[in-house]
Amino acid sequence: MITLPACPKCNSEFTYEDGILYLCPECGHEWQAHANAESADDTTKVYRDSAGNILQDGDTVSLIKDLKLKGSGGTLKMGTKVKNIRLVDSDHDIDCKIDGFGAMSLKSEFVKKV
């Protein structure tokens, strides 16, 4: 017996195959059979800096522009080095500690790998 994948939209187990498509009778969602296999293989997110270099945990980066801090009213200056970054999966890609400012979250688009 062939096991078909659950619907990615509503998680219904009552999917069926129609040619090259899978269909869900509960929500009406249609998707291609090979699209499910591709998404299962690509589970790791690649983080890139402003220049397109791949970032990894523990890298050192520098800021490419002045960033105003919300709440405290301070400013992080362009060229500030940030050591030992940690990559996270959220709207701000980088968690780090900056001397004089403490723990921060930064977006990868505002940093350059050193």
DSSP code per residue over 25-59? TTT--EEEHHHHHHHHH--SPPPB-TTSPBP-TT-
* pLDDT tens-digit map of 61-107: 999 999 998 887 789 999 999 999 999 988 899 999 998 888 999 99
Label residue 34 by pLDDT band (50, 70, 90). Answer: low
Q: Does domain 1-37 have CATH number 3.40.50.720?
A: no
Domain boundaries, the chain: 1-37, 60-113
Q: What is the pTM of this model?
A: 0.61
Architecture of domain 60-113: Roll (2.30)
**44, two tokens:** 């790791």
With 50 as the cut, is the pLDDT of residue 41 above it? no
Higher pLDDT, 12 or 41: 12
67 and 50 Cβ atoms separated by less than 8 Å = no
